[in-house]
């Protein structure tokens, strides 16, 4: 019984770490991977280095981004940090969220 009391705090500490640190990080990685898989030509993106541009070509694990009128840069897919959402898409998403919240409240 003494061993149970000695191990119990360590189990609780691990549980707290998993719930507050490991689990959210895994969810974030999963969403980022889904975003990378859903990239399409024409999407505006920001790289991990802070370069903004428009995707003009996707081939396997390489993505070509146009950052200026005659400047194209090739990146590895994992170098894309985020996809920028157009104002029209963002307003549609906000409308969908508010409609869902309204339905839930009724």
Q: What is the CATH number of the domain that holds 45?
A: 2.30.30
Examine the domain organization and report whether 67 and 45 are in the same domain.
Answer: yes
The percentage of residues in the chain with a pLDDT greater than 90, rounded to a whole number, is 56
DSSP state of 77: G
Examine the domain organization and report whether 56 and 86 are in the same domain.
Answer: yes
Give the whole-angstrom CA distance, residue 5 versus residue 2. 5
Structural domains of the chain, count: 2
Question: Does residue 106 carry a pLDDT above 90?
Answer: no
* Residue 100 structural domain: 41-106
The pLDDT tens digits of the residues spanning 37-65 come to: 999 999 999 999 999 999 999 998 999 99
Examine the domain organization and report whether 14 and 29 are in the same domain.
Answer: yes
| pLDDT score, position 1 | 75
Residue 32, classed as helix, strand or coil, is: helix
60 has which bridge partners?
none
| pLDDT score, position 101 | 67
Max mean pLDDT among 5-9, 22-26, 63-67, 84-88 falls in 63-67
């Amino acid at each position: 019984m003494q061993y149970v009391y000695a191990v119990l705090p360590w189990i609780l500490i691990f549980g707290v770490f998993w719930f507050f640190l490991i689990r959210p990080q895994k969810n974030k990685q999963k969403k980022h991977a889904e975003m990378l898989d859903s990239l399409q030509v024409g999407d505006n993106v920001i790289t991990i280095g802070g370069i903004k541009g428009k995707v003009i070509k996707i081939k396997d694990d390489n993505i070509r981004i146009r950052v200026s009128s005659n400047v194209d840069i090739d990146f590895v897919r994992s170098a894309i940090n985020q996809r920028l959402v157009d104002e029209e898409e963002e307003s549609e998403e906000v409308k969908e969220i508010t409609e869902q919240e309204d339905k839930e409240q009724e």
